[in-house]
Structure 1
Amino acid sequence: MKTDNLLKIPNWLKEEYPFSPVVHTTATGARLSYLDEGEGEGDHAVLMLHGNPTWSFYYRNLVKELSPHRRCIVPDHIGMGLSDKPAHYDYKLATRIADVVSLIDQLQLKRIDLVVHDWGGAIGFGVAEQRPNIIGRIVIMNTAAFTSMHIPRRIALCRLPVLGPLIVRGGNGFAGPAIWMAMRRKPLTKTESRGYLLPYDSWANRVAVSSFVQDIPMNDSHPSWSTLKRVEEGIGKFKNHATLVIWGGQDFCFNDYFHQEWLERLPNAEDLYLEDAGHYVLEDASNDVVPRIREHLLKG
């Protein structure tokens, strides 16, 4: 597979994102950039999985907080962040799960504490379904890992043939608005906004932003429906795991319906509901969220 050079971290971002990404080559030959930061036992790591349209930048403050105590593994999904962005790739849920499974297998991880947000939920619980014996503590933030007919109109618009790619890839009408729509307590700084948008600066580099939107399965004819159903059926395996659900109540995408679904599926989970926080809850309510995740993960 022909790939361009991986995106480099510009000097203006290094204070916010002071990390040294490494590269994993997937089974398809695509290069997946990931963070491998921190102390602790080498085969016990916190795996943080981002969604769309973010990248490992979303977890930067949590990595800074946890890395003195835990090894932190934070991949950029193929097509996202600093990873390769091939024009032709199987940008489907099953492949994204396989990419992460191959990474954790290569790293020979024996225990994973799982932290997920947005698409990271379906991907992360897909990984957990395939490697259930290594899953430890879990943190769930504004995400889903189950089938649902609930989809905001603005996201449905981005799924339309022809028009959808024009909006998402041509007009940056998904990643661009997200930097203000996903925040409710406080606006992002100029540097933070530039950081989130850095990887998605052209039609070509927004290929996976669009593909993620197209990969939302709304019925059983969708190619990712059966994968998501398997993920959904596996959630119950983790009902006795130490789980923390953190939810921003002002989410334009994952509203309270999804929050309640998680609490019903994982009735033993702790719940931190932040009524005034947005979809980027880790960013928007960092002063509340980062210490709570640290406390939860360092118990085990």
Structure 2
Amino acid sequence: MPKLAPHFRCIALDYPGFGISTAGPGYGFTPREHSQVVEQVVEHLGLCDLRVMVQDWGGPIGLGFAGRRPDLIHSLIIGNTFAWPAQVGMVAFSKLFGSSLFRWLNRYYNLIARLLIPAGMNRQLNEAELAAYLGPFATPASRLPTWILPKEITHSHAYLAEVEAGLAKLREKPALLIWGEADGAFREPDRRRLQQHLPAHQVLLLPQVKHFIQENAPQEISTAILAHERRTAIPVA
């Protein structure tokens, strides 16, 4: 964001129950609800001509919004993610990390964040960085959302099917796919499937970069976004 802020209005939001955002009564922490929150934030702020950047669960959450409101979208910046009902490998992951056993382990040991965040990094986080990731989940009750999202990989089948169908409305949008090639979760077949849905795409491959591309290659990503903006013929301030 420091590199991009001179050229764009940069907005980073938390989903309810994540970061420093709290959830209202009855909020279920599902991807459909998160996507609706994104749309509500956009409407509340009166945003348009959006460059939407997504990664991991942000893919189906953000692309779901984009498919519902293509009139607001200028272009897409897509990191390692998916936008369709779960395939075999993801189903296995969902069944393991969304199990009752993992719910208990996560509640008392914050296990999902403690396992998955380091696994997706190319470097060791310093104390302040790790605290930023783990801090929102300091109590057993606060850790429920991090268990729900793995579970929803299989339980949100209907929503994920809607997200993939909505990609048809985004086919003409410029898309930049930024892909960590060492990611164990989303691999080349996922990238190629996105490329088929979004023919107006360009690709930046990041060799040796693991899942959390924004932590592992921030300078490369920022440079690629600025270059993509120039290629799409919209002046950068």
Secondary structure at the counterpart of residue 10 of structure 2 = strand
Tell whether 2:147 aligns with 1:210.
yes
- Give 1:187 deviation, angstroms: 2.4
Q: CA deviation at 1:93?
A: 2.2
Q: 1:94 to 1:121 in 2, by over 3 A?
A: same
* Alpha-carbon contact 2:94-2:153 (below 8 Å) kept: no
Question: More deviation in 204-213 or 286-295?
Answer: 286-295
Following the alignment from structure 1 to structure 2, what is the Cα–Cα distance between the partners of residues 178 and 213?
Answer: 11
Q: 1:266 aligns with which of 171, 189, 198?
A: 198
Per-residue deviation, residues 138-193 of structure 1 (Å, max 9, x unmatched):
10001111113231755531111x20201322221211122320112x32222212
Distance 1:136 1:239 in 2: 12
Q: How does 1:58-77 map to 2 (within 5 A)?
A: 63-77=1-15
Deviations along 1:72-109, one digit per CA (max 9) or x if unpaired, are: 12110011000004685222222111111111111111
CA 1:139–1:213: 2 relative to 1, 3 Å: same
Among 175, 188, 213, the alignment partner of 2:113 is: 175
Instruction: Spell out the pairing of 1:241-280 with structure 2 (5 A cutoff).
Output: 241-280=173-212
Kept in 2, the 8 Å contact 1:282–1:290? The answer is no
Partners of 1:190 and 1:250 lie apart in 2 by: 24
Q: Which residue pairs with 1:122 in the alignment?
A: 60
**What is the aligned-residue identity percentage?**
29
Q: Which has the higher contact order (CA 8 A, sep 6+)?
A: 2
Unaligned runs of 5+ in 1: 1-62
Whole-angstrom distance in 1 between the partners of 2:130 and 2:76: 28
Query: Separation in 2 of the partners of 1:193 and 1:183?
Result: 11
In the superposition, relative to structure 1, how do residues 169 and 199 fare at CA in structure 2: closer, same or farther (>3 Å)?
Answer: same
2: distance between equivalents of 1:168 and 1:152? 19
Q: Deviation string for 1:247-271 (max 9, x for gaps)? A: 1111122222212211222233111
1:189 lines up with 2:126 in the alignment? yes
Counterpart residue type for residue 184 of structure 2:
F
Query: CA–CA distance in 2 between the matches of 1:211 and 1:189?
Result: 27
* 1:232 maps to amino acid: E
In 2 relative to 1, CA 274–146 (structure 1 residues): closer, same or farther, beyond 3 Å? same
RMSD: 1.9
Note if 1:110 corresponds to 2:38: no
In structure 2, how many angstroms separate the alpha carbons of the residues matched to 1:148 and 1:267?
22
Q: Is the CA contact 1:158–1:167 (under 8 Å) kept in the aligned structure 2?
A: no
Rounded to whole Å, the distance in 1 between the matches of 2:102 and 2:157 is 20
Q: How far is the alpha carbon of 1:245 from its aligned partner?
A: 0.2
Aligned residues: 231
**Correspondence for 1:198 among 131, 135, 139:** 135
Report the secondary structure of 1:257's partner residue.
helix
Return the alpha-carbon distance in structure 1 between the equivalents of residues 20 and 229 of structure 2: 27
TM-score scaled by structure 2? Answer: 0.90
> Retained in 1: the 8 A contact 2:93–2:150?
no
Structure 2 residue runs without a partner (length 5+): none
Q: Which has the higher strand share?
A: 1
Residue type matched to 1:225 in 2?
H
Q: Could you tell me which residue of structure 1 aligns to residue 32 of structure 2?
A: 94
Contact 1:152 1:252 in 2 (8 A): no
Q: Distance in 2 between matches of 1:86 and 1:110?
A: 26
Cα gap change, 1:109/1:241 in structure 2, threshold over 3 Å: closer, same or farther?
same
